[in-house]
Structure 1
Amino acid sequence: MRLLADLFLLAGALLCLLAAVGLLRMPDVYNRIQAATKASTLGSVFILVGVGLLEPGWWAKLVAIIGFILFTSPVGSSTLARAFHRAGVAVWQKGQS
């Protein structure tokens, strides 16, 4: 069980790292929101599952936290993208720097 927990923790950490790299590498705010939201949400869920495998008594709390993350992360990113769109932030076009 420890090996499986460690694999979940490692996968979650790598996905969170990928989200951070996505924030740095993507050309515009819309792509950055998408990269950060998808990777960090899945990374956080993997980390919490890994913790749940290490501490079985925490499952009820961890499931509630996972549900909260799965509900609020897409809603938050959608709200941010809509706010940027309403503010007139342009979408990146090929050839722009």
Structure 2
Amino acid sequence: MFQESKPEEKVVLKPYVVEAMEVEASHRGEDKTTCSTDMTEFVQHMVKEYNEDYKAMARDEKNYYQDTPKQIKRKVELYKRCHPEEYAAFIASLKSQKST
């Protein structure tokens, strides 16, 4: 009634192409997202003034584009991802200013 179909074996005509593609696919690509200087300054100002209070950031007068709290949070996360060392140094400088 039902015939079992066996998967056909595929003949690879150019195995060097397959190997090259596998090598290329195994390399992890670099994250090419960047932050503009304007966005970096915006995020630094907001974090300096409000820390993690995104609702207050949304009401700030420097929020020219009227970003929502969620949009601002995404911008802060993007800045953290693009420049982790710079963000860590910025947070450390804020903590040292508060303790002084």
Same fold by TM-score, threshold 0.5 exceeded?
no
TM-score, normalised with respect to structure 1 = 0.26
Is the helix fraction higher in 1 or 2? Answer: 1
Q: Which has the higher contact order (CA 8 A, sep 6+)?
A: 1
TM-score, normalised with respect to structure 2 = 0.26
